[in-house]
Structure 1
């Protein structure tokens, strides 16, 4: 992972964890221990799903840049399906408060997207490869006479 990629990941993770800590405190006051557990699980799910997606997208951009846009669309679809499966599996759980989980999941996702967008806007990433600007010798076909 390049330093730009790590910086983008860090710029998204830190605000998400901060809002997650606030959500845990609020959920603990409003819904008790199960609310705090729900907020922790919601924050962890967002950091895991969005972080893994960002890492996968950056690796794809490096190795197969022609598939970058398609991979981005596929990635967001897979992320939504993963969260949907998680929601279906834990629909009737008593392990955590589902309302605290849902509000934390929504809030942490919005904060992640906003922080990631801000990180991309602030990053000074080259979009032209400087090595490709070097003049190359023209190769001619045939004999050198």
Structure 2
């Protein structure tokens, strides 16, 4: 993974983990051990899905840049759909508190999106490829006079 991608991943995963820790502490205080476990699972699921999506999106941007915007929209829709499926699958579980799980999943997802937006806005990304022109003057394509 190139360093810019690793920086983006780090700048999004750390604030998401911090939001997850806060959610875990609040869930532990409100719902006890099962609440803390539910919040932990929700945070880990959100970080996994969003991190996997970021890696896929970065690879798509490098290999198929013309599909980047469409891929990003499709990826976010797929991630949200998968998270809704996870919440539906675990709504009746007795392993952990499903409400804490759902709240942590939503809070972690929103924290990831906010952190990813901030990281992208702060990143210094070139919009012109400096290697594409090697100092050669472009040929004139218009009529010759």
TM-score, normalised relative to structure 1: 0.89
2:142 counterpart residue number? none
2:105 is the counterpart of 1:105: yes
2:82 is the counterpart of 1:82: yes
1:93 counterpart residue number? 93
2:17 counterpart residue number? 17
Distance between the aligned counterparts of 2:28 and 2:91, measured in 1?
A: 20
1:135: how far off? 4.1
Q: Map Cα deviations across residues 103-134 of structure 1 (whole Å, 9 max, x no partner).
A: 11121111111111111111111111101122
Count of residue correspondences: 139
Backbone CA RMSD of aligned residues:
1.6
Q: Map Cα deviations across residues 52-111 of structure 1 (whole Å, 9 max, x no partner).
A: 000000000000101111111111121122112212211211111111112111211111
Distance between the aligned counterparts of 2:80 and 2:22, measured in 1?
A: 24
2:35 counterpart residue number? 35
1:12: how far off? 0.4
Unmatched 5+ stretches in structure 1: 140-145
TM-score, normalised relative to structure 2: 0.89
Report the more deviating stretch, 33-42 or 88-97: 88-97
Unmatched 5+ stretches in structure 2: 140-145
Q: Map Cα deviations across residues 9-30 of structure 1 (whole Å, 9 max, x no partner).
A: 1000001111111111111111
